[in-house]
Amino acid sequence: MKHEVVHIPERRMFTVTENGETAYAEYTVKDGVFDIIHTYVPAELRGNGLAGELVEAAYGFAESSGLKLKGSCTYASFWLLRHQK
């Protein structure tokens, strides 16, 4: 099940809210590099693929903006390796 991922540029994050809980991926942009620095999924929402959806949406945004991709967050780093980005 795909969730609605919301980009909040002023907070530099992508979010998904479900059942009153919010999962998110935070990022920075510096020198043309989009870097996901933290992902968080509340315990109640884990196991539903939310982290992957957040990271995929964030990196999709970055690629369409012409930015290079980086993953300082462990999850994002492994995601990039698995998806050959």
- For 48, residues 6+ apart whose C-beta sits below 8 A from its C-beta are 1, 3, 18
Model pLDDT for residues 30-77, shown as the tens digit of each residue: 999 999 999 999 999 999 899 999 999 999 999 999 999 999 999 999
Pairing of strands 68-71, 33-40: parallel
This prediction's pTM? 0.93
Provide the b/e sequence for 48-67 (b: ≥16 CB within 10 Å): eebbebbbbbbbebbeeeeb
Residue ranges per structural domain of the chain: 6-83
Q: How far apart are CA 36 and CA 76, in angstroms?
A: 6
Homologous superfamily (CATH) for 6-83? Gcn5-related N-acetyltransferase (GNAT) (3.40.630.30)
* Spatial separation of the C-alpha atoms in residues 44 and 21, rounded to whole Å: 8
